[in-house]
Structure 1
Amino acid sequence: MRSLLFAPAVRPDLVAKLPRSRPGAGVIDLEDGVPEGRKDAARAALAGQVAGLLERHPGFAVCVRVNAPPTASFAADVAALPAGLTAVVVPKVEDAQQLEQVARALAAAGHDGLGVVAGIETARGVLDVRALLGGPVTTAYFGAEDYVADLGGVRTKHSTEVLYARSRVALACRVAGIPCLDQVVVDIHDDDAFRADARQGRELGYTGKLCVHPRQVALADEAFLPSPEQLARARATLEAAAAAARDGQGVIVFDGAMVDEPMLVAARRLIAGADGPGN
């Protein structure tokens, strides 16, 4: 899942277009994208929207973002979830009790076993992130905008203010063995800014990115898929290492650089990511 593209449930025109840019998954949003006075209408339209997407685009991964567990809307959102979803996106997860609440609510609504994409986007959530990546959580994402607002900081273009939190979430996801999706870029017209932000996310260990506009999906794929040149170098490195091993050598020099086991692990991971499902 290199890209997660959002569309508000109150914009059926945008929901219907989710598959066009071929994101890893489309998310129908009941949270920030829906004004408080239209929550009931959004929930009422949800089943038809999901059914329409799956009928027209079989196999397309459809998710729904509900409101956070502490809110009054959470229970009604979960009760409105239709069949056929790939996962439910739960924002602002802060403690293990909320995850237990999510699991109970999903089971009561007939969605026991449905994957959960957990949003780590508050100061408390970032601080306790390692404890939040168990139970029903199958993927997590870092939400910079909400995190900075909760922290009382200042959001900047260069994201220095979220470097620690962003790194902490990526590290926790790696230890937990789950994919992690990087923060949004809200300037939908600045492709260079998206590329730079996605490249930094990739360098930090993220496996994909949240997208708020269809044009960002291709940019995310570009950032999180290795280039043909990178793949060729990784394969050549592994071949050189294999040949050296047959000759009884351990550490080798390939293309002017020393190659040891950590570099071989990275090469294998890069190839596996390019050859994985959906690629």
Structure 2
Amino acid sequence: MIRSLFFAPANRPELVAKFPRFGADCCVIDLEDGTPDAQKASAREMLRQTVQGARDAGLRSLLAVRVNVPHSPHFLADLEAAAACDIDAIVIPKLEDARQAFAAAHWIEHTAAARERPLKLIGGIESVRGVLNAVPVCEQTPELLAVYFGAEDFAADIGGRRTPSGEEVATARSWVVMAAKAAQVAAIDQAVLDIRNDALFTRDASLGRDLGYEGKICVAPAQVALAHAAFSPTEAEVAYAGRLVAAYEAATARGIGTIDFEGKMVDGPLLKRSQAILKAAERARP
């Protein structure tokens, strides 16, 4: 369950060591955008120590490393360094073709026998080509655990302008979550860069959940708790779902497939939604 995907730059190990206090579901050491070009090589060289620093600090949530883009001169060296670390996932940004992940799949297979935990991939869908190819990318990328939609990079690639409403990325945002769900991988929603506007983050996260996203990119520590609140079922939702499932199961035991429940007609799809809410609530428990 990845309700929050929180990033810290790889060249700042003192920030990475603070991961445990933020409580994100998945913490990402960023060799890409978060690390200046002049420091990428040195950050990669100390990556193993940086990862160990997070583990020594008591990190228990998922830990990932975001490598540089597939066409970068750093990409292959980043993959080798990341695969040698005690992490749970490698994040590949700006995926546009499943073949771009084959080198990462090689390292996953090559290091599998020596690892205590299986290594997975998280892909960034962040360009026009990536969005248009989101269906095959999600279906054909090996070891794919989740994808995230990068609205800022997408808007820059298409030449549009970002607005608080997000209408300019609505089509791409919806397409990515549909591609992910069709492939049965987790979908993580776009970032909100206005880090002091909690109301905007909460509103945008609520829309993301309505669309089917399961979590959100977080670029500031305060956004983690907001993301968890937005993507976890409320007590009222859990209570309603529990009553509905119980009533529906009692009805089907009597041979009834559609019921009138608290003023609404309920059948299979609503049952499935309520069961998903109960499952999500169970997974969200500390």
TM range (shorter): over 0.9
Report the secondary structure of 2:135's partner residue.
Answer: helix
**1:32-83 Cα shifts (integer Å, max 9, x gaps):** 0111111112112211111111122153321100001111111121222232
Residues in 1 aligned to 2:89 and 2:285: alpha-carbon distance in whole angstroms: 17
Pairwise CA distance, 1:251: 1.3
Aligned match for 1:232, one of 220, 239, 260: 239
Report the secondary structure of 1:276's partner residue.
Answer: helix
Residues in 2 aligned to 1:86 and 1:278: alpha-carbon distance in whole angstroms: 21
Pairwise CA distance, 1:141: 0.7
Q: Amino acid of the residue matched to residue 132 of structure 2?
A: L
Alignment of 1:1-279 (within 5 A): 1-57=2-58, 59-81=60-82, 82-107=84-109, 110=111, 114-133=119-138, 134=140, 135-276=142-283, 279=286
Residues in 1 aligned to 2:44 and 2:205: alpha-carbon distance in whole angstroms: 32
User: Would the aligned equivalents of 1:75 and 1:105 in 2 still touch at CA under 8 Å?
Assistant: no
Residues in 2 aligned to 1:236 and 1:97: alpha-carbon distance in whole angstroms: 46
Report the secondary structure of 1:181's partner residue.
Answer: strand
CA separation of 1:193 and 1:14: change in aligned 2, threshold 3 A: same
Q: Amino acid of the residue matched to residue 9 of structure 2?
A: P
**1:163-196 Cα shifts (integer Å, max 9, x gaps):** 1111111111111011111010001110000000
Residues in 2 aligned to 1:166 and 1:142: alpha-carbon distance in whole angstroms: 7
Pairwise CA distance, 1:277: 6.8
Q: Given the two structures, how large is their TM-score scaled by the length of structure 2?
A: 0.93
Q: Amino acid of the residue matched to residue 56 of structure 1?
A: A
Report the secondary structure of 1:80's partner residue.
Answer: helix
Residues in 1 aligned to 2:243 and 2:55: alpha-carbon distance in whole angstroms: 41
Report the secondary structure of 1:141's partner residue.
Answer: strand
* More divergent stretch after superposition (258-267 vs 48-57): 48-57
* More divergent stretch after superposition (110-119 vs 151-160): 110-119
User: Would the aligned equivalents of 2:44 and 2:81 in 1 still touch at CA under 8 Å?
Assistant: yes
Unaligned runs of 5+ in 2: none
Residues in 2 aligned to 1:277 and 1:226: alpha-carbon distance in whole angstroms: 9
Q: Amino acid of the residue matched to residue 207 of structure 1?
A: E
Unaligned runs of 5+ in 1: none
Pairwise CA distance, 1:105: 4.8
Residues in 2 aligned to 1:34 and 1:230: alpha-carbon distance in whole angstroms: 41
Pairwise CA distance, 1:137: 1.5
Residues in 2 aligned to 1:111 and 1:216: alpha-carbon distance in whole angstroms: 34
Q: Amino acid of the residue matched to residue 64 of structure 1?
A: V
Residues in 2 aligned to 1:264 and 1:77: alpha-carbon distance in whole angstroms: 45
Identity across aligned pairs (percent)? 42
